Structure 1
Amino acid sequence: MAEFEPQLNNSASKTTSPKHFYDEDSWKTPTGFELAWFSTGCITLLISLAKSLIIISRQSTGFRGWIEPVVAAILGYVLGDLGTGIYHWAIDNYGTAKTPVFGSQIEGFLRHHDHPSAITKRHVATNLYVGAAGFTIAVLPMNIFCTNPNLLAFASAFLGCGMFCQQLHAWSHTPKGKLPPLVVALQDSGLILPRAEHAAHHHQPFDSHYCIVSGVWNRVLDKCKIFWAMEMILFFIFGVRPRSWSDLDSK
């Protein structure tokens, strides 16, 4: 069981110099690799939306033909928020910097607890290229082979939330005066993650308010203790303690 035991926690992360994780100069200028994946993700999303619109218009079913794709997109958006919460919870609580595939994200999320405003200094391509790469790999084959506008609408919204959630996350840490008016209006309406909603996550033991698209699922998940139940199940089956338990002990 020891190999699954989380090794990093919030207090431990402070023992390492933050310079490696908080380098504004390098973050302001994205690499060509980051720009390429970010651009590819945005193009893939536009192609998916355009294909959906073309298919719907060719079906010539009038207003009724738009209802199902719109509902599918809304459902994808709502479930996208839930998906980011589950992923955020897992990254925050399990694994280490040495975990295959996810190690760098795990380490980055843990350092984010120490320097929450650092994410606002990063270029949008640096923030989003990982999500854009995943979105492209998942959606590009659908753009080529899928002809169902409902499926395309759902996938674009659901996976698009995963692609852009880190920017919504960054905006939730950005002072209101530095945000575009449209972003502020969307935050105030609750359509994207409000600043106060996410601020509740940044208190030890970092065990609530994980969803970072709109945060609409946070109240349900936290009130019903869904993540706590999942942690108990994993603990009893694998003997693995989530990182939030250690942070709670420290608190």
Structure 2
Amino acid sequence: MKNELKNQLRQQDAKALAQGYSPAIRAMDIASIVTFVGLESALVWRLWSGAHTGPWLVLCAVLLGYLAADFVSGVVHWMGDTWGSTEMPVLGKAFIRPFREHHVDEKAITRHDFAETNGNNCLVSIPVAILAVVLPHSSPGWVFVSTFLGAMIFWVMATNQFHKWSHMDEPPALIGFLQRVHLILPPAHHQIHHTAPYNKYYCITVGWMNKPLAMIGFFPAMERLITWATGLIPRKDDIGTEAALELFEATASAEPPVVQAAKELLEATTAEEPKPVSSARPS
């Protein structure tokens, strides 16, 4: 089935997609990075001088923020890959286009500079950054929430940089070490997503959430729900109508791996159960 779908893919031209990065979008990227850095700096200053800030509180918030960022990266990546069109006003050029370009030309991201790589993530993080800065720091609970939000969007901002490194042929030595110990997104792990038809392993901060989400069939379930509610076909703009319809029908009929495993375990247990011995005496 995978080979048949791969032959049906009708993706857009990589050069045309790359040309969609206009001067206006670049200016927006630069402004977003400057704003994001300013807000995060303001949050660090508040935490540094806060009476309720403690090392263990900050450490826990940063680690939980890392996991949350991995999940958020998966949801945003899935949305950009799966829904909408590159022709949509604003969203199409600024957000959806980079996802579609990346599927056609995986190495394009390695040629992007810092602003083009990270501007989008900074832009979408600004509202959360504002919230993190303005929250009261009147108790350890509020400080934890503020720190968690700030840490989460910091890792969200870093996600595309991690993603870019995972596609580099020779990343810096320290980055290669972090990839090998799976503290940031490893190339081999991410390559699973880049296997046609590109419908799994969307989490790209570190990738820790990919396996659990795949086991429960999270993204296929979300696609069925959205299609039921709106009639839209997932990935239609990315891989073409024919392949998108065939893929949707195949995933709609498939059970999540965790359900399949549970059924196999139940069947094995049932088969091994001994038959009851009759207590009646022979005549």
**TM-score, structure 1 length as denominator?**
0.80
Tell me the amino acid that sits aligned with residue 70 of structure 1: L
Of 51, 58, 83, which aligns to 2:46?
Answer: 51
> In 2, Cα distance between the equivalents of 1:98 and 1:20?
12
> In 2, Cα distance between the equivalents of 1:181 and 1:203?
27
Tell me the amino acid that sits aligned with residue 132 of structure 2: M
After TM superposition, list the pairs within 5 Å mapping 1:210-229 onto structure 2: 210-229=202-221
Closer, same or farther: CA 146–188 of 1 in aligned 2, 3 Å: farther
- Paired position in structure 1 for 2:31: 36
**1:204–1:248 CA contact under 8 A, matched in 2:** no
- Paired position in structure 1 for 2:160: 166
Tell me the amino acid that sits aligned with residue 135 of structure 1: S
Deviation at 1:142, TM superposition (A): 3.5
- Paired position in structure 1 for 2:145: 151
> In 1, Cα distance between the equivalents of 2:225 and 2:134?
40
> In 2, Cα distance between the equivalents of 1:70 and 1:106?
34
**1:119–1:170 CA contact under 8 A, matched in 2:** yes
Closer, same or farther: CA 59–217 of 1 in aligned 2, 3 Å: closer
2:133 pairs with 1:140: no
After TM superposition, list the pairs within 5 Å mapping 1:70-85 onto structure 2: 70-85=59-74
Closer, same or farther: CA 180–39 of 1 in aligned 2, 3 Å: farther
2:17 pairs with 1:21: yes
Per-residue CA deviations over 1:189-211 (Å, capped at 9, x if unaligned) read: 21211111111101111011100
Of 163, 175, 191, which aligns to 1:199?
Answer: 191
- Paired position in structure 1 for 2:176: 184
How much is the aligned-residue C-alpha RMSD, in angstroms?
2.7
> In 1, Cα distance between the equivalents of 2:177 and 2:168?
14
> In 1, Cα distance between the equivalents of 2:245 and 2:201?
16
- Tell which structure's C-alpha radius of gyration is larger: 2
- State the SS of the aligned residue for 1:96: coil
**1:49–1:152 CA contact under 8 A, matched in 2:** no
Deviation at 1:21, TM superposition (A): 3.1
2:106 pairs with 1:116: yes
Number of residue pairs matched by the alignment: 228
Per-residue CA deviations over 1:165-223 (Å, capped at 9, x if unaligned) read: 11111111111x2x222211221221211111111101111011100100000011112
**2:233–2:244 CA contact under 8 A, matched in 1:** no
- State the SS of the aligned residue for 1:36: helix
Q: Structure 2: which 5+ runs fail to align?
A: 1-7, 248-283
Deviation at 1:150, TM superposition (A): 1.1
Deviation at 1:246, TM superposition (A): 2.7
Q: Structure 1: which 5+ runs fail to align?
A: 1-9
Of 93, 96, 101, which aligns to 1:106?
Answer: 96
- State the SS of the aligned residue for 1:12: coil
Deviation at 1:247, TM superposition (A): 4.6
> In 2, Cα distance between the equivalents of 1:165 and 1:121?
16
- State the SS of the aligned residue for 2:148: helix
Closer, same or farther: CA 50–184 of 1 in aligned 2, 3 Å: farther
- Paired position in structure 2 for 1:7: none
2:232 pairs with 1:240: yes
Tell me the amino acid that sits aligned with residue 130 of structure 2: L
Tell me the amino acid that sits aligned with residue 13 of structure 1: Q
Deviation at 1:144, TM superposition (A): 4.3
Identity of aligned residues (%): 26
Of 55, 71, 81, which aligns to 1:66?
Answer: 55
Deviation at 1:68, TM superposition (A): 2.4
**2:110–2:168 CA contact under 8 A, matched in 1:** yes
Deviation at 1:35, TM superposition (A): 2.9
